[in-house]
A and B are shown apart, each in its own frame.
Chain A
Amino acid sequence: MTEIFGIPTQALFGQLLLGLINGSFYALLSLGLAVIFGLLNIINFAHGAQYMMGAFVAYLMLNKLGIGYWWALVIVPLVVGASGVLIERLMLSKLYKLDHLYGLLLTFGLALIIQGLFRNEYGSSGQPYQIPEQLLGGQNLGFMFLPNYRGWIIVASLAVCLATWFVIERTRLGAYLRAATENPQLVQAFGVNVPRMITLTYGFGVALAAFAGVMAAPVYQVSPQMGADLIIVVFAVVVIGGMGSILGAVVTGFSLGLIEGLTKVFYPEASSTVIFIIMAIVLLIRPAGLFGTQK
């Protein structure tokens, strides 16, 4: 068997694929963060909590209402996104004139409150959520056993990331959004309702987090701290990609998943820190991030 640095190539392929799967979550979550930061200039620290809410709403819908995974994939982002709209209207909209820091503190506080409420109600061990029947089992790829559901994660998150990129970069609506980021007053003068657009963008970013939460529910335990564990890494991804860069978020999300996957093979102890090491290096060399532009 061929080997690379003492690791059989087959095993390496398996690990790369797993890295890509984890990268899918990073990409989905950092995409939402990038969209929100790009337009609202808000660093949404509640993103992890909103991801967790996505998983919990899916769990509750299944256990209280009998609504399964596939409907949850559609309904949950709408429900959690709507809660995002409320947060934007009632709280965030009051802070746009102030420094970034206030938005960060507000959303951080919200995240702690939301996590605390869920922990109080459901405990920290989490709740089980079954993989939907259609995706049970897996494929033997020769170099690894790939559960069908993990394959689905890559496909679905790539599709959502590409669709989001297309809407923002290639459509008229996206053009308005980008224009409003550059100069809200001018866009408003052309008759576009900028505040409503901002509200809906926040809602959309939150819905992306909730979507990722539903995707994660069958793989991880649905637990109150599932978002808190992930969000710090996702922030590093956004910083590496460049704050507010859509393409940057997606590309860095997937590639850091890969790098992390490789670290888990060669030096597992460092797998939780490797992303931050990369972040430090990128910040030293390109302070605006790999895909960001200096304002």
Chain B
Amino acid sequence: MTLKRNLLSTVLAAAFGLGATGAQAQISDGVIKIGVLNDMSGLYADLTGPGSVVAAKMAVEDFGAAAKGMKVEIVSADHQNKPDVGSTIARTWYDVDKVDVIVDVPTSSVALAVNQITREKGKAFLNSGAATSDLTGKACSPNTIHWTYDTWMLANGTGSAIVKTGGDSWFFLTADYAFGHALERDTEAVVLKNGGKVLGKVRHPFPGSDFSSFLLQAQASKAKVIGLANAGGDTINSIKQASEFGIVKGGQNLAGLLVFLTDIKALGLNTAQGLIFTTTYYWDRDDASRAFAKRFSAQAPRNNYPTMIHAGVYSSVLHYLKAIEAAKTDDGTKVIAQMKAMPTDDPLFGKSTVRADGRKLHPAYLVEVKKPAESTGPWDLYKIRATIPADQAFRPLNQGECPLVK
């Protein structure tokens, strides 16, 4: 009997090819397991954290997994911004808990570690939270897609806009780990390319709380622009303390290189007004983004509005599920290849593609923080100053030194 059935399935498999034995047959354990790995409790928890779990759930709902008979499960964990903690969780998820894909993973040092482990295990990694452009550069992998933004895009968007409006001498305040270094490197390149100069830089411990000493060094440098190559709570405290020390009043400008909606909300418009930076999603851009934000906010902790990282988690999980449906397998390497082969389409980032090096392309927006008088609601925080088209927003494919595209 068993022999007969085996024989039958072998014949069928031979007849239709391995992929054609039905969607269920190729989904390991019959469940697609999505692991949301990020900072659930530290300085990045508001801009990634539980909100990313909400975004992933929304993507599963909108894909209509239940109606299509696909079983999708979401698990989550806190990597505490520590590469060792993140690596341990990633290995346990892949080896023991049969997780098929890890999503989000802010904190570049952790993301680079998970990138490596995912490649070893042949699983899939959809990064929305981390910034380092190395994920699609020298560390690029056939198992990773870098979704929402990266340091090259931030530097290109914000850096060149500021240099072109006269901010041609810079001093960097850099978070002392992979992310800060990458952001500083990419921004410095843009500043120099546009004819500006870098007068100095200081690397602060991560996470920090008192930035006054570093700000004083920046003040003494007499640079026109103080570039903040940090994120989350570090950026919030830097901006707050810069205002305390009268840095902006003294004629120097701050460039927040990576700033999120929740940071501006926490700072308040009084302190943050006029700040210019680049983002790939803003909730009040069009009807689709507004509708997403309303739905997200209803389920998110403290009814927060989504950051671009949350939007990226939603968009990447949606495309991942579509790719599984098309490829009829949840094998990591095959799904990532399928995701690159298919065009992307979702309400938040529009129609686009994923490049061979794993870079997801979409437009970026140069935004300015509103003055308190211009804001009409608690989350009405930005005005969009310019749109950078998808083909210019990210690093050209041939400049990334990604071994996959050589």
Kindly list chain B residues whose C-beta atoms are within 8 Å of the C-beta of A131.
Answer: 244
Q: Contact between B233 and A264 (Cβ–Cβ < 8 Å)?
A: no
Q: Contact between B202 and A268 (Cβ–Cβ < 8 Å)?
A: yes
Kindly list chain B residues whose C-beta atoms are within 8 Å of the C-beta of A271.
Answer: 204-205, 213
Kindly list chain A residues whose C-beta atoms are within 8 Å of the C-beta of B208.
Answer: 272
B contact residues vs A (CB 8 Å cutoff): 41-47, 49, 176, 202-205, 207-210, 212-214, 216-217, 219-220, 232-233, 236-237, 240-241, 244-246, 250, 262-263, 265-268, 271, 301-302, 304
Of the candidates A15, A147, A229, which one forms a contact with B246 in the assembled complex, judged by CB atoms under 8 Å apart? A147
Q: Contact between A145 and B43 (Cβ–Cβ < 8 Å)?
A: no
- Complex: chain A residue closest to B209, CB-CB: A229
Q: How far is the CA of A128 from the CA of B241 in the complex (A)?
A: 12
- Complex: chain A residue closest to B301, CB-CB: A123
Contact status of A221 and B240, CB under 8 A, knowing A145-B246, A268-B214? yes
Smallest distance from the beta carbon of A109 to chain B beta carbons, Å? Answer: 15
Q: How far is the CA of A128 from the CA of B372 in the complex (A)?
A: 15
CB 8 Å contact bits of A108-151 with B (1 = contact, 0 = none): 00000000100111111111100100000010000011010110
Q: Contact between A226 and B263 (Cβ–Cβ < 8 Å)?
A: no
Contact status of A124 and B45, CB under 8 A, knowing A138-B245, A147-B244, A269-B203? yes
Q: How far is the CA of A19 from the CA of B216 in the complex (A)?
A: 12
Q: Contact between A125 and B176 (Cβ–Cβ < 8 Å)?
A: no
- Can you show 27 pairs from A to B with CB atoms below 8 A apart? A11-B220, A119-B41, A121-B302, A123-B266, A123-B304, A124-B41, A124-B44, A124-B45, A124-B46, A124-B233, A125-B236, A128-B268, A128-B271, A145-B219, A220-B209, A220-B237, A221-B240, A225-B41, A229-B209, A230-B209, A264-B214, A265-B213, A265-B217, A268-B203, A268-B213, A269-B203, A269-B205
- Complex: chain A residue closest to B236, CB-CB: A221
Of the candidates B45, B217, B240, B271, which one forms a contact with A119 in the assembled complex, judged by CB atoms under 8 Å apart? B45
Contact status of A123 and B46, CB under 8 A, knowing A128-B268, A149-B244, A271-B205? yes
Q: Contact between A126 and B266 (Cβ–Cβ < 8 Å)?
A: yes
Kindly list chain A residues whose C-beta atoms are within 8 Å of the C-beta of B236.
Answer: 125-126, 221
Asked whether any CB of chain B lies closer than 8 Å to the CB of A18, the reply is yes
Q: Contact between B210 and A220 (Cβ–Cβ < 8 Å)?
A: yes
Of the candidates A116, A120, A124, A264, which one forms a contact with B42 in the assembled complex, judged by CB atoms under 8 Å apart? A124
Kindly list chain A residues whose C-beta atoms are within 8 Å of the C-beta of B176.
Answer: 268-269
Enumerate the 5 nearest inter-chain pairs by beta-carbon distance, A residue then B residue, closest first: A272-B205, A125-B266, A124-B45, A264-B213, A125-B46
- Complex: chain A residue closest to B202, CB-CB: A268
Q: How far is the CA of A83 from the CA of B301 in the complex (A)?
A: 27
Contact status of A128 and B49, CB under 8 A, knowing A219-B241, A223-B233? no
- Complex: chain A residue closest to B261, CB-CB: A125
Q: Contact between B233 and A126 (Cβ–Cβ < 8 Å)?
A: yes
Asked whether any CB of chain B lies closer than 8 Å to the CB of A213, the reply is no
A116, A221, A230, most chain B CB atoms within 10 A = A221
Contact status of A125 and B214, CB under 8 A, knowing A220-B209, A269-B176? no
Smallest distance from the beta carbon of A122 to chain B beta carbons, Å? Answer: 8
Kindly list chain A residues whose C-beta atoms are within 8 Å of the C-beta of B205.
Answer: 268-269, 271-273
Of the candidates B41, B204, B216, which one forms a contact with A144 in the assembled complex, judged by CB atoms under 8 Å apart? B216
Q: Contact between A268 and B212 (Cβ–Cβ < 8 Å)?
A: no
Q: How far is the CA of A225 from the CA of B203 in the complex (A)?
A: 22
Asked whether any CB of chain B lies closer than 8 Å to the CB of A85, the reply is no
Contact status of A128 and B304, CB under 8 A, knowing A220-B209, A261-B213? no
Kindly list chain A residues whose C-beta atoms are within 8 Å of the C-beta of B232.
Answer: 124-125
Q: Contact between A225 and B42 (Cβ–Cβ < 8 Å)?
A: yes
Q: Contact between B210 and A124 (Cβ–Cβ < 8 Å)?
A: no
Smallest distance from the beta carbon of B208 to chain A beta carbons, Å? Answer: 8
A contact residues vs B (CB 8 Å cutoff): 8, 11, 14-15, 18-19, 21-22, 116, 119-128, 131, 138, 144-145, 147, 149-150, 219-221, 223, 225-226, 229-230, 261, 264-265, 268-269, 271-273
Kindly list chain A residues whose C-beta atoms are within 8 Å of the C-beta of B44.
Answer: 124
Kindly list chain A residues whose C-beta atoms are within 8 Å of the C-beta of B263.
Answer: 125
- Complex: chain A residue closest to B302, CB-CB: A123
Q: A122-B302, A125-B232, A128-B268 are in contact. List 17 more A-B contacts (CB 8 A).
A: A15-B213, A124-B45, A124-B232, A125-B47, A125-B236, A125-B262, A128-B266, A128-B271, A144-B216, A150-B244, A220-B237, A225-B41, A230-B209, A265-B213, A269-B176, A269-B205, A271-B213
- Complex: chain A residue closest to B48, CB-CB: A124
A121, A131, A223, A268, most chain B CB atoms within 10 A = A268
Kindly list chain B residues whose C-beta atoms are within 8 Å of the C-beta of A122.
Answer: 302
Kindly list chain A residues whose C-beta atoms are within 8 Å of the C-beta of B217.
Answer: 11, 265
Smallest distance from the beta carbon of A171 to chain B beta carbons, Å? Answer: 34
Kindly list chain B residues whose C-beta atoms are within 8 Å of the C-beta of A120.
Answer: 301
Q: How far is the CA of A198 from the CA of B219 in the complex (A)?
A: 48
Kindly list chain B residues whose C-beta atoms are within 8 Å of the C-beta of A125.
Answer: 46-47, 232-233, 236, 262-263, 265-266
Smallest distance from the beta carbon of B245 to chain A beta carbons, Å? Answer: 6
- Complex: chain A residue closest to B216, CB-CB: A14
Q: How far is the CA of A225 from the CA of B266 in the complex (A)?
A: 15
Kindly list chain A residues whose C-beta atoms are within 8 Å of the C-beta of B237.
Answer: 220-221
Q: How far is the CA of A113 from the CA of B312 in the complex (A)?
A: 31
Kindly list chain A residues whose C-beta atoms are within 8 Å of the C-beta of B246.
Answer: 138, 145, 147
Kindly list chain A residues whose C-beta atoms are within 8 Å of the C-beta of B245.
Answer: 138, 145, 147
Q: Contact between A22 and B45 (Cβ–Cβ < 8 Å)?
A: no
Kindly list chain A residues whose C-beta atoms are within 8 Å of the C-beta of B233.
Answer: 124-126, 221, 223, 225
Q: How far is the CA of A92 from the CA of B43 in the complex (A)?
A: 31
Kindly list chain B residues whose C-beta atoms are within 8 Å of the C-beta of A119.
Answer: 41, 45
Q: How far is the CA of A119 from the CA of B78 in the complex (A)?
A: 14
Q: How far is the CA of A18 from the CA of B232 in the complex (A)?
A: 23
Q: How far is the CA of A15 from the CA of B208 in the complex (A)?
A: 17
Kindly list chain B residues whose C-beta atoms are within 8 Å of the C-beta of A128.
Answer: 240, 266-268, 271
Q: Contact between B262 and A219 (Cβ–Cβ < 8 Å)?
A: no
Q: Contact between A11 and B268 (Cβ–Cβ < 8 Å)?
A: no
Q: Contact between B220 and A124 (Cβ–Cβ < 8 Å)?
A: no
Kindly list chain A residues whose C-beta atoms are within 8 Å of the C-beta of B302.
Answer: 121-123
Smallest distance from the beta carbon of B180 to chain A beta carbons, Å? Answer: 11
